[in-house]
A = this chain, B = another copy of it.
């Protein structure tokens, strides 16, 4: 059994919740998804493999998984919440391409450090942050250059 199911089970036991096939099935689908998936998208993926599982259950399970630390809620400011993997994925920030909609993951330890310093300078105690850089990815730049030739 994959470690992720173990984590879910442990959480369920610890909180005196109940093991259900739906919860494991949603996790099963989510594990195979990569990238940043909306509830709507994920729910459709779940429906393909487990047609009986409703949207609401996917919604509630993802909130549960977020509690366990298996996933992360990410908001790119487009009016839709997205979920990304957190287990075995370290913290990162995002480049958001406004042409193709891709989310590119980046990380810079220096920026992270300077953010902490910046907060400290204000006596602010940080516990999370989000950094999103919006623009045009390299692929879309290439595509655009081709067209305009």
Contacts and interface: CB of A to CB of B under 8 A. Distances in A.
Interface of A: 75, 77, 93, 95, 97, 104, 106, 108, 110-111, 114-115, 118-119, 121-138, 141
Report copies per complex. Answer: 2
Nearest to A140: B125
Given A115-B131, A129-B132, A131-B130, A138 B122 contact: yes
Contacts of A126: 95, 133-135
Contacts of A132: 129-130
B138 A134 contact: no
Given A110-B114, A114-B108, A118-B106, A135 B125 contact: yes
Contact of A124 (B75, B95, B123): B95
A92 to B, nearest CB: 11
Contact of A125 (B77, B122, B127, B136): B136
Contacts of A133: 115, 118-119, 124, 126, 128-129
Contacts of A77: 75, 130
A115 B122 contact: no
25 contacts: A77-B130, A95-B122, A95-B124, A97-B124, A104-B122, A106-B121, A106-B122, A108-B114, A111-B114, A111-B115, A111-B118, A115-B133, A119-B133, A122-B137, A124-B136, A124-B137, A125-B135, A125-B136, A126-B133, A127-B135, A128-B134, A128-B135, A130-B131, A130-B132, A131-B131
